[in-house]
Amino acid sequence: MKHSNARFAAPAHSPGRVRATSPMRLHSRPLSRSIHWVWVLLVGLSLAACGSAEPGPAQPSEPGWKTFRDSTLGVAIDYPRGFGRLEPSWRGPGCALALRFPFSPEKDTAGIFQFTGTLMVTEGPPQATFTAVGGLYDYTMSGGVYEEDLIRRVWHALPRLTPLRFCEQIRREAHLEPVPRPLRDLPDSTVEDLREFDRFGHIAPKVRFCTVEGSTVTFDEIVTLEPGDPEPTHTYGVIRFLSGRFSSVQFIQGGQRKPPTAEQLALMRRMVDSFRVQSQP
């Protein structure tokens, strides 16, 4: 992959015409010096892909924990008090709700670990944030780069994620080899763009573990942002697959230099497990 400031675009006649600058083209510095900002970009694009919404009031849960309630969606999620006040939630295509916790680079939040992630509830085909399964399975990312009609075609062409399939797909660097039949009429240039974006943030994945317990998956993988990156990072978290209106609730962190501890994963699992639909809006 070459560094360039050019726009990442298919020909004007192509249904894959890009409407934003690809994050793959934004970096002219060595990756080891810019990876932090790459993940800031990932979060920023994810949040920009959803529209703002007002959360409902947070109410006490058990000691040491608080409850976030969204009256519009009729859902609730528990989280540790030590994580601070939730920042506003976001919504958009494929993203029913995203809750971002304050970033505190100096404080070990909750006495366990530095917490910088986003807890997301998805609608439609399940996805995975922080490009845990590559760029095409992170619809809040690809939705900020490609036209919506193309993204929806890709949604339905890719194998739908399930607990077992998730563990299969995170082991793959490429998900368009061969090109699925519903996408074979696309221009070659669009297919190549999609393939490149598919690999963004998910080069040479090495899965340390991917544990399925019922409808919930806990995983940790080592990935690189670009080929030859001397400093691979960990992407890890918990994703719980749902039925009905919501397709998943997940807590994933990317760009981490250290592997997760058992305490970190247990806390993430507890938050994901706490998600509940209290009433239909």
pLDDT in tens, 100-145: 766 444 444 444 445 556 789 998 889 898 899 999 998 766 766 8
Segments of the chain scoring below 70 in pLDDT: 1-62, 84-93, 101-117, 140-141, 143-144, 279-281
Report the pLDDT value the prediction gives residue 116, as an integer from 0 to 100.
59
Contact call for residues 61 and 114 (beta carbons, < 8 A): no
Helix (H) or strand (E) holding 97: strand 95-100
Strand partners for 210: 219
- Other C-beta atoms closer than 10 Å to the C-beta of 31 total 16
Amino acid in the structure at residue 245: R
Report the pLDDT value the prediction gives residue 52, as an integer from 0 to 100.
43
CA dihedral (82, 276, 129, 71) in degrees, to 10, reads -80
Reported residue count of the chain is 281
Cα–Cα distance measured from residue 160 to residue 172, given in angstroms and rounded to the nearest whole number = 15
Cα–Cα distance measured from residue 220 to residue 218, given in angstroms and rounded to the nearest whole number = 7
Q: Give me the sheet containing 89-92, strands edge to edge.
A: 51-53, 89-92, 95-100, 118-123, 246-256, 233-241, 216-224, 203-213
- Cα dihedral sign, 158-163-165-170: positive
Ordered by start, the domain boundaries in the chain are: 23-110+129-277
What values do phi and psi take at 66, rounded to 5? -125, 165
Tokens of 80: 């540790």
Report the pLDDT value the prediction gives residue 193, as an integer from 0 to 100.
93
Contact call for residues 209 and 222 (beta carbons, < 8 A): no
DSSP 8-state class, residue 18: B
Cα–Cα distance measured from residue 136 to residue 128, given in angstroms and rounded to the nearest whole number = 9
Report the pLDDT value the prediction gives residue 279, as an integer from 0 to 100.
67
Report the pLDDT value the prediction gives residue 247, as an integer from 0 to 100.
95
Cβ burial of 188 (10 Å; 0-12, 13-18, 19+) is exposed
Report the pLDDT value the prediction gives residue 176, as an integer from 0 to 100.
93
